[in-house]
Amino acid sequence: MSDPNPDHDHTAVVHDAAQIVTVEADGSLGIYEDAAIAVVDGEVTRVGATGPVTREYPPENAEYAIDARGKAVVPGFVDPHTHALFAGDRSDEFEAKLRGKTYQEILAEGGGILRTVRATREASDEELLSHLLSHLDTMLAHGTTTVEVKSGYGLDTATELRMLDVIARANDRHPVDVVPTFMGAHAVPEGRDADDYVDEVVDEQIPAVAEQGIARFCDVFCEEGVFSVPQSRRVLVTGEEHGLTPKVHAEELAHIGGTQLAAQLGATSADHLLYATQEDIDAVTDAGVVPVLLPGTAFGLGAEYADARAFLDAGAPVAVATDFNPNCYSQSMEFAASLSCVEMGMTPAEALVAGTKNAAQALDMDDGTGTLQPGTPGDIAVLDAPSYVHVPYNFGVNVVETVLKGGEVVHHE
Ligand code: NIG
Ligand code: FE
């Protein structure tokens, strides 16, 4: 059958929205009321008042026409830090932590990451893929359209490569864009010495990962009792020599200097930063390193939150992520936004920019993802709520109703 509207195929029009929110180049919000947005061939072409936009792009000719009366429209969320590929869960450790056990105590007993490593090594590729796809479904339902996923529950060359391969397959199969990060230096495997394991990461894992050609970034858990600053530096420098851009887990549980390392290496991001000092904040800001704050982790650990205001005052492009992993079991950027506001003192506007434009910057994306500016990807979340403020305000609830990825409806409640 011939297409009745060949000219308007691959067009999406969301119209009569109570509010459409874009992110401007300076990081402020553009707020359009009684508005429409048009997406053609995957890219935003027009945002503005419903009348003129729908005259140019009549909804009746569009492949997808969404009447958004009473609803707000925001950029799809970008989640720039997750460990979403793993087998098993650690709900029993959640209970142990509630009884007072610390994250480090659990790890030192062979639990925590090391336990997830055992479960992940035992799982088949198909099991791992199906777990990841199901987590991506949950993320998408909560408005996430791009997510970074790290390896790091293999801690040996074969399993790390397998994880990256599963991440690539999930990216092919699922509408959410998945950005792969190699994190062989996520923990010291049981019975191994840290220096000896770093030798393996540097001499064996990184060259194999580079040859496989999937990973974009190389991350390291630079932490007291895990990898020291010199060990982390070795991993990240070797990664860079093999084409992997550095990222750092820095000052999550203690202050050991990972943030300064990120600044010295010009890493794309420094993440966690609970114990970052003012010198650290100035250093990452001057070096153009994106601070990625993970309030869900502090929430789950019952820890202090990162000082988001100090980073914002310094002029840093603060990003927020879920850190979804078996120790921080939330796939929801909406919940991260609620914590950003209530626990880290960010405004709803700052939280929205942190989970869209700045999060895309934390993944080195330069195509305008997370902004809804003309010429950028048509990744859109339509809320069952009249304003973007409801994302953090209506906590513990999913306010996302419809999600478009590149102008295609990929989720509808
Ligand atoms: O970002 N800190 C290291 N990695 C994760 C935790 C992973 C895990 O506990 O399984 C994080 O918090
Ligand atoms: Fe992490």
Q: What is the pLDDT of residues 365-411, one digit of tens each?
A: 999 999 999 999 999 999 999 999 999 999 999 999 999 999 999 99
- Pick 77-361's CATH classification: 3.40.50.300, 3.20.20.140, 3.40.50.970, 3.30.870.10: 3.20.20.140
What pLDDT is attached to residue 8?
52
Place of tokens 């993320």: 139
pLDDT tens-digit series, residues 192-218: 999 999 999 999 999 999 999 999 999
The residue to mutate among 106, 186, 269, 271, having the most atoms of ligand 1 within 8 angstroms of its beta carbon, is 186
**218 beta partners:** 182, 246
Q: Where in the chain is the domain with CATH 3.20.20.140?
A: 77-361
Q: What is the CATH number of domain 11-75+371-412?
A: 2.30.40.10
Q: Count other C-beta atoms under 10 Å from residue 181's C-beta.
A: 25
227 lines ligand 1 (CB under 6 A): no
C-beta 221 within 6 A of ligand 1: yes
Ligand 2 centroid from CA 52, angstroms: 45
Look at the pTM and tell me if it is higher than 0.85. yes
Cβ of 112 closer than 6 Å to ligand 1, yes or no, is yes
pLDDT at 302: 87
Mean pLDDT computed over 59-79: 97
**Residues 97, 103 contacting (CB under 8 angstroms):** yes
| 327 Cβ closer than 6 Å to some ligand 1 atom | yes
| CB-neighbour burial class of residue 262 (10 A; exposed 0-12, middle 13-18, buried 19+) | buried
Ligand (nearest to CA of 86):
1
In the chain, % of residues over pLDDT 70: 98
Question: Is pLDDT of 9 > 90?
Answer: no
Residue 7, pLDDT above cutoff 80: no
Residue range(s) of every CATH 2.30.40.10 domain in the chain: 11-75+371-412
Pocket test for ligand 1, best of 79, 81, 83, 249 (most atoms within 8 A of CB): 83
Helix axes 258-265, 278-287, angle to 10 degrees: 20
